[in-house]
Amino acid sequence: MKTNAFEAVAKYVYPSLRRRLVEILREKGLNQLQIAKLLYITQSAVSRYLRMNRGALVDVEKFPEIDNKLKELAETIIKKRPDEYYIHGELVKITIEMLGKGYVCSFHSKVDSEIDPKVCRVCIEAFG
């Protein structure tokens, strides 16, 4: 195992969740600057997420319950304008849920050919 699950999550999964959150906020009619302020990131980062230059390796929409959690988070962000720690905490919870359900396994095996998702159950057992 060259790339452990946490490295894969930090490099690919978490950024993909943030990208999808940016997309959802954009779909709700917010502009890039509004999104940047709500998420405590730069407008340039928002632009890179929307152009798929960042966080594009995991298609979060193919996991409907995860996508729904991001939509709920987007609503909370718009209505309550929580601080960046709350947003980060919620994204971490969603990430852990993805790990526990085994959603990261097939992706992890693509970025590290030594991973066999049929044998490795580390995340499912630790977070499931």
How many residues appear in the chain? 128
Query: Is 33's pLDDT higher than 70?
Result: yes
Number of separate domains in the chain: 1
DSSP labels, the chain: --S-HHHHIIIIIHHHHHHHHHHHHHHTT--HHHHHHHHTS-HHHHHHHHTTSSS-SS-GGGSHHHHHHHHHHHHHHHHH---HHHHHHHHHHHHHHHHHTTTTHHHHHHH-TT--TTT--HHHHHH-
pLDDT given for residue 4 in this prediction: 85
pLDDT given for residue 1 in this prediction: 61
The tens digit of pLDDT for each residue in 39-71 reads 999 999 999 999 999 888 899 999 999 999 999
The tens digit of pLDDT for each residue in 2-13 reads 888 889 899 999
pLDDT given for residue 108 in this prediction: 87
Domain residues for 95?
Answer: 5-127
